[in-house]
Amino acid sequence: MKLKVISPIAAHAQAWADALSHAPGGLQAECIVKPLPAVNVLVNGSRPDLVVVETTSPQDFNELERLARQHPEIEYVLVGSELTRDELMRAMRAGVRELLPPDASADDVLYAVQRLAQKRPAPTAHEAIPARRGQVLAFIGCKGGSGATFAAANLAHVLAAGGQRRVALIDLNLQFGDALFFLSSERAPSNVAELARNIGRLDRSMLEASMVEVAPGLRALAAPEDPAQAADVAPEHVATLVELARTVFDHVVIDVGRSLTGVTLQALDQADHLFAVLQLTLPYIRGARRLRDVFRSLGYADAKQHWVVNRYEKSGQITLDDLRRTLAVTEVLTLPNQYDPVASAVNQGVAVSQIAPNSAISKGLRELAAQVAPSAAGTARSGSWLGSLLRSNAAKAEKAEKGAER
């Protein structure tokens, strides 16, 4: 494992590099006594696996963010002054996996690096390329009671299409999550917190064994039953979990809950698409505006953001056009208001498309699946309604593109 130790303080840089170089485990540490902005981290194409960097000024921190954006494959251990909540989020987004205080000893740095090294997969002579690179869809409510969990769970069920695709539902509402119970009454064999405590042993077999198979092709990973166990889950655990799930499933649907924490931000960062769920009332719309501002401050592209109006009725006082103007967006997705089949499905702990396949809400979920998961076209069987629809849309897009080229 190649490392670079960078600090403007010579005593720190040398002590940390010496401790790393003499430790067992094949660590190769290069010591650089300079502030980060003055360092070329990549030299002649040589890329470190991990950088231990001490920041002593805002310029150092800004350079760390710039470097991380250019080279997201590198991990970082940051030694520096105590960060504000905003700076901590920025650090996590930048790829910082361990944060140490400015008085960190050589042993502190060594232990932090060794923890990260243990989580890295063992090198193989012929490393296979993962068969899958699944799509990650993250759902978040603009306000409590928006129906984000219902939408996430039931969309996951539709995407599985009776076993035609492999779909994972992961509940990251760590304190009060109940996504599993929207689809099954079966007790979970494990949960997100338990996997976090055993993250060093996590592999495909362990992940699948920890999940409940709620329908053909669909597995659910539950949130911990004890809210106190939420503290066991760190952002780096989520990064490892989601990245592994990508290689196992065609779609990974995440219910991130309502709060914005380091854990949920990690999930939002890794998502290919974000679905903010709301209803057409003022409290939900105010929450949606705040969430839109958060997404923008985090640098999420507009194409990554999707706004889903749950319990939609055309006769409502607030229209979809009102919402589009308020959020300054052009596209809004909808799920119709149909209380009886939804309440029946939730009370029985089954997918609504299972007990009321011809209902308006089931049709709305199928339409949502077709709009938000076009990659499903590559895995849908020729006989499935969704596969036919997506192939048709893809053919139309290709035809239009060829016409534009002429």
Q: Which helix (H) or strand (E) holds 132?
A: none
| Joined tokens for residue 272 | 């290919």
In the chain, where the domains are located: 2-119, 135-377
DSSP letter string, 160-228: HGGGTS-EEEEE--TTT--GGGGT--SPPS--HHHHHHTGGG--HHHHHHTSEEEETTEEEEPPPSSGG
Q: Helix, strand, or coil here: 95?
A: coil
Q: What is the pLDDT of residues 1-25, one digit of tens each?
A: 788 889 999 999 899 888 888 887 6
Q: What is the pLDDT of residues 74-125, one digit of tens each?
A: 788 888 876 676 777 777 766 677 888 888 898 888 888 887 777 665 544 4
Decide yes or no: CATH 3.40.50.740 for domain 135-377.
no
| Nearest by Cα to 275 from 286, 262, 288, 284 | 288
pTM of the shown model: 0.64
Decide yes or no: CATH 3.40.50.2300 for domain 2-119.
yes
pLDDT tens, residue order, the chain (406 aa): 788 889 999 999 899 888 888 887 667 888 899 888 888 776 444 678 888 888 888 888 888 878 777 776 778 888 887 667 677 777 776 667 788 888 889 888 888 888 777 766 554 444 444 455 789 999 999 999 999 999 999 999 999 988 889 999 999 999 999 999 999 999 999 999 999 999 988 898 899 999 999 999 999 999 999 999 999 999 999 999 999 999 999 999 999 988 888 899 999 999 999 999 999 999 999 999 999 999 998 889 999 999 999 999 998 899 999 999 999 999 999 999 999 999 999 999 999 999 999 999 999 999 989 887 654 433 333 333 334 434 444 444 444 444 444 4
* Domains 2-119 and 135-377 alike in fold: yes
Distance of alpha carbon 203 from alpha carbon 196, whole angstroms: 12
